């Protein structure tokens, strides 16, 4: 070759030219204090300990909206759930509503760059064919379409008459979750499927979304975890730790660890039996930190500094813009996306700050820096730097701060009113499996 720059294979770092892989491990109903890196002394989580030691703990990491369905809608679209019409209650089996097929999900964005995309676990964004993972950018799906408690043993079964809880591979029903033994296998099955998908796609960029059914009630875990634990909750948490370990081990074995970003977090605050650590609140209810701040670990050896901690405000809504940036893909520009690229935080670039001047807790609260305001009652103001447990309402002493934050929240609520997109509804919805005769 004459002239120009000639690169030998030696000087050309092929690894750097590869698009990064992405894995999101999304636990159901895990609390802020349920794993050792976030202070648990009850549950043993060696794999997550190592993940944190090799990666970054995000200590002010929030979901985009509380509860299973809205939280998943936020994660998938990079938007607050009301923005995409998926706030309010969770989807039920055979319901007409689901995440609008017109929404652009993380998987859709990554597909534009040729990613293999797989979803392994609890979907919960509508169980009609129009709403399932295949219509939202996933090449492959293995899992349950909604919560593991939406089955015949649910306490409200008499009222709702839940159909059998199906296990799906793509759009095919391959099993039914009939009993506790079946429930106990869900973490293992989703993990094994995700690992196998990673192996099959090791030579091309991939996105693995692993939304576990664990640790949502009813709680059952495999025998080997039950034997070591004091109760089902501990066993389930420790099994999700095992699951994360399997994923990371597979990435190391395949030499993909230096080219894969893995994020571990939870979909909303912990339910009964879990720990929110120092935070107030838990699953459901109003909008204290324990409702929406989640344990979160980001791992990408060589890119994310080992053993780092980031306390800047970040959220699941940031995952779509961040992955888009890192993949060289275009995040949607024809609509409002609430999330922001947080790669500078993840890579601990000097002086990196949260891209969020304000973060919103549903449409009922706002955090700006250390200040947090809730509309609850006459209004509550907390200084999270000094009072992470939200014990001292100092609203009456700080009227100017209250006013500023109240305005920020009102602007956000007004904007959600003006710029929102609807959920989709189908006519004549049917459950995936027929309702049992009664
Ligand atoms: Ca949940």
- In a domain, residue 215? The reply is yes
Tokens representing 378? 């006459």
DSSP string, 365-399: EEEETTEEEE-STT-EEEETTT-TT-----TTT-H
Q: What gap in Å lies between CA 77 and CA 98, rounded to an integer? A: 13
Question: How long is the chain?
Answer: 438
Distance from the CA of 172 to the center of ligand 1, in angstroms?
25
How many angstroms separate the alpha carbon of residue 292 from the centre of ligand 1?
11
Q: How far is the CA of 174 from the centre of ligand 1 (A)?
A: 24
Token pair in block for residue 55:
């990666």
Q: Which helix (H) or strand (E) holds 23?
A: strand 21-27
Look at residue 389 in the predicted model and tell me its pLDDT: 98
Is the residue at 12 inside a domain? no
Each residue of 167-180: pLDDT tens digit?
A: 999 999 999 999 99
Residue 429 lies in a domain: no
What pLDDT does 156 receive? 80
Element (H, E) at 249: helix 232-253
Same domain, residue pair 244 and 381: no
Whether residue 107 is contained in a domain is answered as yes
Between strands 140-143 and 260-266, the pairing is unpaired
Q: What is the separation of C-alpha 112 from the centre of its chain, rounded to a whole number of angstroms?
A: 22
| Eight-state DSSP code of residue 103 | S
- Cite the active site residues: 68, 124
Whether residue 433 is contained in a domain is answered as no
Q: Are residues 309 and 385 in the same domain?
A: no
Q: In the prediction, which pLDDT does 205 show?
A: 98
**Same domain assignment for residues 119 and 50:** yes
Residues 317 and 411 in one domain: no
- Considering the domain architecture, whether residues 27 and 102 belong to the same structural domain is answered as yes
Residue 162 shares a structural domain with residue 303: yes
DSSP state of 255: T
Q: What is the pTM of this model?
A: 0.95
Tell me, yes or no, whether 377 lies in a domain.
yes
Distance 237 CA to ligand 1 centre (A): 14
Q: What sign results for the dihedral spanned by CA atoms 197, 203, 209, 211?
A: positive
User: For the residues of 58-100, what is the DSSP string, one character each?
Assistant: ETTEE-SSSSHHHHHHHHHHTS-GGGGT--SSPP-TT-SEE--
CA distances from 219 to 12, 120, 121, 213, 272 (A): 50, 19, 15, 9, 11
Domain that residue 377 falls in: 359-419
- CATH number, domain with residue 325: 3.40.720.10
How far is ligand 1, taken at its centre, from the CA of residue 267, in Å? 5
**b/e per residue, 387-399, with b = 16+ CB within 10 A?**
bbbbeebebeeee
* 335, 421 Cβ separation under 8 angstroms: yes
Distance 63 CA to ligand 1 centre (A): 11
Whether residue 306 is contained in a domain is answered as yes
Q: Is residue 143 part of a domain?
A: yes
β-partners of residue 308 are 56
181 lies in the same domain as 56: yes
pLDDT of residue 161: 80
Q: What is the token pair recorded at 13?
A: 């770092």
Say yes or no: 335 and 379 in one domain.
no
One domain, residues 278 and 409: no
Q: Do residues 374 and 287 lie in contact, with contact meaning Cβ atoms separated by under 8 Å?
A: yes
Sheet (strand 365-368) strand order: 359-361, 365-368, 371-374, 380-383
CATH number for the domain spanning 363: value is 3.30.1120.10
Number of H helices, E strands in the chain: 13, 19
403 CA to centre of ligand 1 in angstroms: 33
What is the C-alpha separation between 287 and 375, in angstroms, rounded? 10
Decide the pairing of beta strands 21-27 and 206-211: parallel
Separation of 126 CA from ligand 1 center, angstroms? Answer: 15
Of 181, 175, 110, nearest to 143 by C-alpha is 175
Instruction: Calculate how far, in angstroms, residue 29's C-alpha sits from the geometric centre of ligand 1.
Output: 4
Distance from residue 395's CA to the centre of ligand 1 (Å): 31
Same domain, 61 and 187: yes
Asked if residue 296 and residue 404 are part of one domain, the reply reads no
376 and 239, same structural domain?
Answer: no
Number of Cβ within 10 Å of residue 343's Cβ equals 18
Q: How far is CA 302 from CA 257, 260, 382, in A?
A: 9, 10, 37
3-state class of 311 per DSSP?
coil
Report CA(91)–ligand 1 centroid distance (Å). Answer: 12
What is the residue-level pLDDT of the chain in tens, covering all 438 positions? Answer: 344 444 444 444 444 468 999 999 999 999 999 999 999 999 999 999 999 999 999 999 999 999 999 999 999 999 999 999 999 999 999 999 999 999 999 999 999 999 999 999 999 999 999 999 999 999 999 999 999 999 988 888 778 789 999 999 999 999 999 999 999 999 999 999 999 999 999 999 999 999 999 999 999 999 999 999 999 999 999 999 999 999 999 999 999 999 999 999 999 999 999 999 999 999 987 799 999 999 999 999 999 999 999 999 999 999 999 999 999 999 999 999 999 999 999 999 999 999 999 999 999 999 999 999 999 999 999 999 999 999 999 999 999 999 999 999 999 999 999 999 999 999 999 999 997 765
Calpha distance 58→352 (Å, rounded): 14
Q: In what order do the strands lie in the sheet with 61-62?
A: 293-294, 61-62, 314-315
Considering its fold, how many domains does the chain have in total? 2
């Amino acid at each position: 070759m004459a002239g120009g720059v000639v690169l030998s294979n030696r000087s050309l770092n092929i690894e750097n030219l590869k698009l990064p892989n992405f894995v999101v491990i999304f636990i159901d109903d895990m609390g802020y204090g349920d794993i050792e890196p976030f202070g648990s002394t009850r549950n043993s989580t060696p794999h997550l300990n190592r993940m944190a030691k090799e990666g970054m703990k995000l200590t002010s990491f929030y979901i985009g909206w509380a509860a299973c369905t809205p939280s998943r809608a936020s994660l998938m679209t990079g938007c607050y759930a009301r923005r995409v019409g998926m706030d309010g209650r969770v989807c039920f089996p055979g319901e007409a509503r689901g995440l609008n097929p017109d929404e652009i999900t993380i998987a859709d964005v990554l597909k534009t760059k040729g990613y293999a995309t797989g979803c392994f676990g609890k979907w919960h964004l509508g169980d009609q064919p129009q709403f399932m993972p295949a219509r939202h950018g996933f090449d492959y799906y293995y899992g349950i379409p909604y919560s593991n408690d939406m089955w015949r043993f649910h306490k409200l079964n008499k009222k709702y008459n839940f159909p059998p809880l199906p296990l799906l591979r793509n759009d095919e029903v391959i099993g039914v979750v009939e009993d506790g033994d079946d429930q106990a296998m869900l973490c293992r099955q989703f993990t094994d499927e995700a690992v196998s998908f990673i192996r099959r796609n090791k030579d091309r960029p991939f996105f693995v979304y692993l939304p576990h059914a664990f640790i949502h009630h009813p709680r059952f875990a495999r025998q080997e975890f039950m034997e070591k634990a004091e109760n089902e909750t501990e066993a389930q948490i420790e099994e999700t730790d095992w699951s994360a370990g399997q994923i990371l081990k597979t990435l190391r074995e395949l030499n993909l660890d230096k080219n894969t970003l893995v994020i571990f977090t939870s979909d909303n605050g912990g339910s009964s039996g879990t720990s929110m650590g120092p935070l107030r609140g838990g699953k459901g209810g109003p909008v204290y930190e324990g409702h929406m701040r989640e344990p979160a670990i980001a791992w990408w050896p060589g890119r994310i500094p080992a053993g780092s901690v980031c306390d800047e405000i970040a959220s699941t809504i940031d995952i779509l813009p961040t992955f888009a940036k890192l993949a060289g893909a275009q995040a949607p520009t024809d609509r409002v996306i609430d999330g922001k690229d947080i790669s500078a935080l993840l890579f601990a670039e000097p002086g990196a700050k949260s891209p969020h001047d304000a973060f919103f807790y549903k449409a009922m609260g706002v955090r700006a820096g250390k200040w947090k305001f809730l509309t609850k009652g006459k209004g509550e103001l907390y200084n999270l730097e000094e009072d992470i447990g939200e014990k001292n309402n100092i609203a009456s002493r700080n009227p100017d701060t209250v006013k500023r934050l109240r305005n920020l929240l009102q602007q956000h609520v007004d904007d959600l009113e003006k710029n929102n997109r609807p959920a989709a509804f189908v006519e004549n919805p049917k459950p995936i499996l027929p309702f049992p005769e009664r």
